Amino acid sequence: MKRSELFLKLQKGMEQYKSKVKLNDNFDEKDKSVQYIMSRYNLENFNDLINSSYEELDDEVDEKELKDLENRIDEYFTLYSPDDEEFREFIKKISVYITFIAKKPLHPPGIKFSNGIMLYKKGDTYYCTGKSLFIKKKHSLCKYCIAQMNNIM
Ligand code: SF4
């Protein structure tokens, strides 16, 4: 499948969420919690996905990788939030968009996890100080994240 086809499929799939996602960007800049930062990043990517055009992307998506990423999200939700099917499908689409279309990291630059792990950008490259640790976890999406491993700031 071409990336442009995947993009159109994702965009169509997101139609159902337009009435449900809060589209305003009235965020509290003081809130630095991971949950809040992730909500803001998801909204930013949702807005990009529904308002952008990627029709010129004619390179192929690695469908094995795409399926594996989706399976990892499915397995994670099956374990930790089995009843939240609608949110799972939303997160799946956002993650596929970030990974295969926008080619951005799966966590937003500037995010800091409780153990000091963080993601940052230097030049055009993203670095994650937690990738080497998180990539070993079952269902981890780090394998498909474009952030580079970096254990030393
Ligand atoms: S490498 Fe993993 S922990 Fe780091 S930003 Fe990407 S998905 Fe998040």
CB 49 less than 6 A from any atom of ligand 1: no
Q: How confident is the model at residue 26 (pLDDT cuts 50, 70, 90)?
A: low
End-to-end CA gap in the chain:
38
Q: How confident is the model at residue 112 (pLDDT cuts 50, 70, 90)?
A: confident
Predicted confidence at residue 24, as pLDDT, reads: 57
Q: How confident is the model at residue 34 (pLDDT cuts 50, 70, 90)?
A: confident
The whole-angstrom separation of Cα 72 and Cα 123 is 30
The whole-angstrom separation of Cα 115 and Cα 143 is 20
The whole-angstrom separation of Cα 68 and Cα 2 is 17
Helix axes 3-14, 85-96, angle to 10 degrees: 150
Predicted confidence at residue 25, as pLDDT, reads: 59
Neighbour count for residue 134 (Cβ, 10 Å): 17
Alpha carbon nearest to ligand 1 atom 2, residue = 142
Q: How confident is the model at residue 104 (pLDDT cuts 50, 70, 90)?
A: very high
- Distance (angstroms) between ligand 1 centre and the Cα of 111 equals 10
